[in-house]
Amino acid sequence: SGDSIRVAPGEDDETVFVKRTEKIKNNDIIVGVVDGEPMLKRYKKFENRIELHSANSSGHPIIVTEENDFRVAGIFISQFNEF
C-alpha cells in the first residue's frame, strides 16, 4: 500500500524479490500478513510487542498484538525497477 516500505525511490511498476522464510531478525524488511492483509514493512520486535514500520517516518507503526492474526511470509531480498 502507499505507506508501506519504499525501498528506493521509484515508480509504481517495481518488482520486489522476497525469500520465503519465517526466520527473521530485528530491523529486517519483511512481507508480513496482518489479519489477512499482506504488507512490506520493517520488523521491530520489543520485549512485549511487535511493530511494523513503513518507510514514511511520519507514519505510525502497526502494533501487532495477540489479537491479530500475524505471520511472516518472507524477507525482502532486492527490487527491480522497470522503466
Considering the entire predicted model, what is its pTM?
0.77
Whole-angstrom Cα distance, residue 39 to residue 33? 6
Considering only CA atoms, which of 27, 65, 70 is closest in space to residue 45? 27
pLDDT of 9 reads 41
* Residue 71 and residue 31 in contact, taking contact as beta carbons nearer than 8 Å: no
Residue segments in the chain with a per-residue pLDDT below the cut of 70: 1-13, 56-58, 83
Contacts of 40 (CB under 8 A, 6+ apart): 4, 5, 16, 29, 30, 31, 76
Considering only CA atoms, which of 37, 23, 26 is closest in space to residue 72? 23
